């Protein structure tokens, strides 16, 4: 008797545990919710790319169930039907909207339910068919990309001629900028200087031209009032910049400069040279001065000639005019000196040496020209201090 009672107790315990396990499994399948579940059919009007069994179903962003079945619609080859199991308390209505969304750019698709009217809730009885919600076709990243590419191609075809013209204009403008890059840089630099922008550059190094000393070279020459007129030169030499002649013959300004423009500097140093040679009556052009002679100077060369053996070269054309305006003589004088550089102190020293040689030849030529003139043509200058 006791054995039968023992078997009955074990059997009842086994049944209770089995029912408990069955209830637990059913509860887990219902997403752990204490509420009931309800099946709903969703009919997509077109493809539903990526939708699979087990995909999430959300209502207004909150998960309420999952997809239990995906199949082709039996009455329409273009439609897709999906059965979803959702929480029975979800407020579905005939106006609830359905869309197929994707989590992120490459995430899994899920069914999104949102909106609807609370006075037209959908419910199904045991003998009633599943409620049906209509949904538009789902979008595909591949299809959307293909459509975008097709649209871009159509746009390019429609605007091929204007695009070609625009590209041609850009090329022409770029080529023009390339040809005038130096000018553009100059314009921008001028604008910076005008507006005070940009980094302030240090002033260039400045050097002076040395006047040679030929003691008593013209001490025996008759005293006559001489005016050294403003020298002439080509435009490129009317500058303060050191000039260098490159091997192809072009003149290139250097980074350092003279203390004055080249013509003015030559005039001042020639006057000083005459004074150093004991000739006291050489003057610049002065109002009221009636000279006996005028010395016309044309600066033809005043630069460093670059090459295998760089040298400083000074060349001047000279003419002497009488008081009546007659040309008494003409001469070209030239001086050369080796140069170690076309810029800086070494270039200044070389140019001073070349100028000294040209100035000596000029003084000697002037002395011989003055000696050939009759003495009665010269007005004796007034001695100083009387």
Q: Which two tokens stand for residue 321?
A: 């005019």
- C-beta of residue 227 within 8 angstroms of C-beta of residue 294: yes
Of residues 359 and 36, which shows the higher confidence score?
359
Q: Please say if the pLDDT value at position 380 is more than 60.
A: no
Q: What is the DSSP string of 356-367?
A: HHHHHHHHHHHH
Q: 181 — phi, psi (to 5°)?
A: -60, -40
Q: What's the domain count of the chain?
A: 2
Q: pLDDT for 182-222, tens place per residue?
A: 777 777 777 776 665 556 667 888 999 999 988 877 777 77
**Do 100 and 222 lie in a common domain?**
no
Residue among 47, 40, 51 nearest 77 (CA)? 47
Percentage, residues of the chain above pLDDT 90? 24
* 120 inside domain: yes
Can you give the pLDDT at residue 338? Answer: 92
* Residue 270 pLDDT level (bands cut at 50, 70, 90): very high
Residue among 283, 264, 285 nearest 274 (CA)? 283
Q: pLDDT for 54-108, tens place per residue?
A: 889 998 888 989 999 888 888 888 888 888 888 888 888 878 888 888 876 667 8
**Do 245 and 116 lie in a common domain?**
no
* 315 inside domain: yes
**pTM of this structure:** 0.49
Q: Where are the beta strands (DSSP E) in the chain?
A: 37-44, 56-59, 62-72, 80-87, 97-102, 109-114, 132-135, 206-207, 226-228, 232-233, 241-245, 251-258, 282-283, 293-305, 311-322, 327-338
**Do 281 and 366 lie in a common domain?**
yes
**Do 255 and 116 lie in a common domain?**
no
Domain end marker among 87, 121, 139: 139
Q: Please say if the pLDDT value at position 231 is more than 90.
A: yes
* 342 inside domain: yes
Q: What residue has token string 């072009």?
A: 250
Q: Please state, in angstroms and rounded to a whole number, the distance separating the CA atoms of residues 352 and 342.
A: 13
Can you give the pLDDT at residue 221? Answer: 78
Of residues 29 and 21, which shows the higher confidence score?
21
Task: Identify any residues that bridge with 227 across adjacent strands, giving them in sequence order.
Answer: 283, 294
* 302 inside domain: yes
Can you give the pLDDT at residue 384? Answer: 46
* 173 inside domain: no
* 172 inside domain: no
Helix (H, G, I), strand (E, B) or coil at 258: strand
**Do 239 and 131 lie in a common domain?**
no
Q: Please say if the pLDDT value at position 379 is more than 80.
A: no
DSSP 35: S
Question: Mean of the per-residue pLDDT values for the chain?
Answer: 81
Q: 338-341 long-range contacts, Cβ below 8 Å, gap at least 24?
A: 338/309, 338/310, 338/311, 338/312, 339/304, 339/310, 339/311, 339/312, 340/310, 341/304, 341/310
Q: 296 — phi, psi (to 5°)?
A: -95, 125
Q: Please say if the pLDDT value at position 330 is more than 90.
A: yes
* 68 inside domain: yes
Can you give the pLDDT at residue 359? Answer: 92
**Do 366 and 277 lie in a common domain?**
yes
* Residue 180 pLDDT level (bands cut at 50, 70, 90): confident
Domain end marker among 139, 162, 178: 139
Q: Which region among 188-192, 302-306, 367-371, 378-382 has the lowest average model confidence (pLDDT)?
A: 378-382
Q: What is the mean pLDDT of residues 322-351?
A: 90
Q: Please state, in angstroms and rounded to a whole number, the distance separating the CA atoms of residues 243 and 257.
A: 9
Q: Please say if the pLDDT value at position 323 is more than 50.
A: yes
**Do 244 and 336 lie in a common domain?**
yes
- C-beta of residue 54 within 8 angstroms of C-beta of residue 66: yes
Can you give the pLDDT at residue 299? Answer: 95
Domain end marker among 88, 104, 139: 139
**Do 244 and 363 lie in a common domain?**
yes
Can you give the pLDDT at residue 360? Answer: 93
Q: Which region among 103-112, 154-163, 332-341 has the lowest average model confidence (pLDDT)?
A: 103-112
Q: Which CATH number is 267's domain given?
A: 3.40.50.10610
Helix (H, G, I), strand (E, B) or coil at 61: coil
CB atoms near residue 76 (< 10 Å): 12
**Do 241 and 369 lie in a common domain?**
yes
> In which domain, by residue range, is 113 found?
33-139
**Do 247 and 366 lie in a common domain?**
yes
* 272 inside domain: yes
Residue among 329, 326, 218 nearest 280 (CA)? 218
**Do 129 and 232 lie in a common domain?**
no
Q: What is the mean pLDDT of residues 282-299?
A: 88
Q: Please say if the pLDDT value at position 241 is more than 70.
A: yes
- Helices (H) and strands (E) counted in the chain, each on its own, are 6, 16
Can you give the pLDDT at residue 5? Answer: 61
Of residues 313 and 289, which shows the higher confidence score?
313
C-alpha of 87 from chain center: 63
Q: What is the mean pLDDT of residues 305-333?
A: 91
**Do 129 and 231 lie in a common domain?**
no
Can you give the pLDDT at residue 26? Answer: 62
């Amino acid at each position: 008797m006791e054995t039968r009672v023992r078997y009955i107790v074990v059997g009842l315990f086994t049944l209770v545990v089995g029912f408990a396990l069955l209830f637990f499994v059913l509860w887990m399948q219902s997403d752990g919710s204490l509420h009931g579940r309800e099946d709903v059919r969703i009919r997509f009007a077109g493809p539903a790319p990526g939708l699979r069994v087990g995909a999430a179903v959300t209502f207004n962003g909150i998960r309420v169930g999952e997809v239990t079945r995906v199949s082709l619609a039996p009455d329409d080859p273009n439609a897709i039907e999906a059965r979803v199991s959702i929480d029975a308390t979800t407020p579905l209505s005939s106006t609830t909207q359905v869309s197929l969304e994707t989590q992120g750019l490459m995430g899994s698709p899920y069914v999104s339910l949102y909106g609807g009217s609370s006075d037209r809730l959908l419910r199904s009885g045991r003998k009633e068919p599943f409620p049906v919600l209509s949904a538009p076709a789902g979008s595909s990243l591949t299809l959307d990309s293909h459509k975008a590419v097709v649209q871009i191609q159509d746009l390019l075809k429609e605007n091929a001629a204007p695009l070609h013209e625009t590209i041609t204009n850009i090329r022409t403008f770029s080529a023009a900028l390339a040809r005038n890059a130096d000018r553009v840089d100059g314009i921008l630099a001028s604008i910076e200087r005008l507006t005070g922008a940009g980094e302030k550059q240090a002033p260039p190094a400045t050097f002076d031209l040395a006047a040679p000393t030929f003691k008593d070279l013209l001490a025996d020459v008759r005293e006559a009032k001489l005016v050294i007129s403003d020298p002439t030169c080509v435009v490129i030499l009317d500058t303060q910049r050191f000039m260098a002649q490159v091997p192809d013959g072009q003149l290139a300004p250097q980074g350092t400069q003279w203390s004055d423009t080249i013509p003015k500097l030559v005039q001042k140093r020639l006057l000083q040279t005459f004074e150093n040679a004991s000739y006291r009556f050489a003057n610049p052009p002065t109002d009221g001065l009636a000279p006996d002679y005028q010395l016309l100077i044309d600066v033809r060369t005043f630069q460093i000639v670059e090459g295998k053996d760089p040298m400083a070269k000074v060349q001047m054309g000279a003419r002497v005019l009488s008081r009546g305006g007659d040309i008494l003589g003409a001469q070209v004088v030239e001086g050369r000196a080796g140069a170690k550089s076309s810029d800086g102190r070494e270039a200044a020293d070389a140019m001073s040496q070349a100028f000294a040689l040209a100035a000596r030849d000029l003084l000697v030529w002037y002395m011989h020209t003055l000696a050939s003139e009759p003495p009665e043509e010269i007005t004796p200058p007034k001695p100083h201090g009387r």
